[in-house]
């Protein structure tokens, strides 16, 4: 575990695995921190230099006042890569993390070897929906909306069979700094990568969960259709957070894509 000051923000991160291997960066979603990747990382740490980090406003990173722009998140990530002396990496982004990866691939392709876009889209939700969510949180905090969010994060089966784990992930969500949550909602709300997606030229894999209530499979499939050469894969029995719910399947899909993309 380490901290770096990037763009005047303290970013919490961790580098594990093969120090001379190709770099593989995981980018987490709204309301989560890098612990969500814990069950996936062992599938890569023997061959890759794995970078995990908490984007601004999440986990142990600083949470400056809202709103944030998507480019703030992208600039933070580029700054972190510079500080770790990583010129080029493969990126796995979940949800808003996938938006950050898309923007990076479209605007800084020289830093990107391949991308895996997990439960994400060129555009997530509508400005009205995000405005509603932000005003509810400004009024009453994150707690009252957590049950709805967890229903989108995890399938009913997972919630029924893993109540203690779900309670733990709920703690992570509720403890997200309000500034960080609101700031990132604003970044998602203003972002539409539909035009930019067509500029992506790196090998891309889009993965959906068949029971994802946040970025439904057809939305992810549509995004795959916007990116030249992108492949689409569906994970069965998964909600929005397959790195927690289906880590073995997700790791297999990521690994195959990285091999096909020559990131080995």
Ligand X SMILES: O=C(O)CC1=CCC(=O)O1
Which residues lie near ligand X (CB under 6 A)? 29-31, 95-96, 124, 149, 152, 188, 214, 240
- Tracing tokens 């509720």 back to the chain, one arrives at 174
Shortest Å, Cβ 203 to ligand X: 23
Name which of 130 and 232 has its Cβ closer to ligand X. Answer: 130
Please state at what angle helix 96-107 crosses helix 178-189, rounded to 10 degrees: 50
Looking at the Cβ atoms of 185 and 263, the one nearer to ligand X is 185
Measured between alpha carbons, how far is 234 from 260 in angstroms, rounded to an integer?
A: 18
157 contacts: CB under 8 Å, gap ≥ 6: 237
Min separation Cβ 95 and ligand X, Å: 3
- Name the 3-class secondary structure at 236: coil
Rank residues 49 and 246 by Cβ distance to ligand X and give the closer one.
246
For residue 169, the minimal CB distance to ligand X (Å) is 12
Q: Name the residue nearer to ligand X (CB basis): 22 or 242.
A: 242
Separation of alpha carbons 162 and 156, rounded Å: 10
Q: Which residue is nearest to ligand X (CB)?
A: 95
- Residue number with CB closer to ligand X (30 or 122): 30
Phi and psi torsions of 177, nearest 5°: -55, 135
247 is written with which tokens?
A: 């880590």
Least Cβ distance, residue 212 to ligand X (angstroms): 9
CB of 71 to ligand X, least distance (A): 16
* Residue with smaller CB distance to ligand X, 52 or 263: 52
What span, in angstroms and rounded, lies between the C-alpha atoms of 211 and 216? 7
Tell me the CB-side half-sphere exposure of residue 71, using CA atoms within 13 A: 2
Residue closer to ligand X (CB basis): 78 or 101: 101
Q: Which residues of 67-95 are buried (b: 16+ CB within 10 A; e: fewer)?
A: ebebebbbebbbbbbeebebeebbbbbbb
Q: By 3-state DSSP, what share of the chain in percent is helix, strand and coil, each rounded to 5? A: 45, 20, 35
| Smallest distance from ligand X to CB 57, Å | 12
Minimal distance in Å, beta carbon 148 to ligand X?
8
């Amino acid at each position: 575990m380490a901290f770096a000051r990037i763009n005047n923000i303290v970013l919490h991160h961790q580098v594990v695995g093969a120090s001379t291997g190709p770099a593989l960066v995981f980018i987490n979603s709204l309301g989560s921190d890098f612990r969500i990747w814990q069950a996936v990382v062992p599938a890569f740490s023997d061959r890759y230099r794995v970078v995990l980090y908490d984007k601004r406003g999440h986990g142990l990173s600083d949470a400056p006042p809202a709103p944030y722009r998507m480019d703030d998140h992208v600039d933070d990530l580029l700054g972190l890569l510079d500080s770790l002396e990583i010129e080029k990496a493969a990126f796995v982004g979940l949800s808003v993390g996938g938006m950050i990866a898309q923007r990076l691939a479209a605007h800084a392709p020289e830093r990107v070897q391949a991308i895996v876009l997990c439960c994400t889209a060129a555009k997530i939700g509508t400005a009205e929906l995000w405005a509603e969510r932000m005003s509810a949180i400004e009024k009453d905090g994150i707690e009252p909306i957590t049950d709805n969010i967890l229903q989108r994060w995890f399938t009913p089966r997972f919630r029924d069979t893993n109540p203690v784990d779900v309670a733990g992930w709920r703690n992570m969500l509720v403890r997200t700094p309000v500034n960080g949550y609101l700031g990132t909602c604003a970044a998602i709300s203003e972002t539409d990568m539909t035009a930019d997606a067509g500029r992506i030229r790196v090998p891309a894999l889009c993965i959906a969960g068949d029971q994802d209530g946040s970025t439904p499979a057809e939305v992810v499939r549509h995004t795959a259709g916007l990116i030249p050469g992108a492949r689409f894969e569906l994970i069965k029995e998964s909600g929005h957070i397959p790195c927690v719910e289906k880590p073995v399947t997700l790791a297999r899909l990521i690994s195959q894509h990285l091999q096909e993309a020559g990131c080995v």
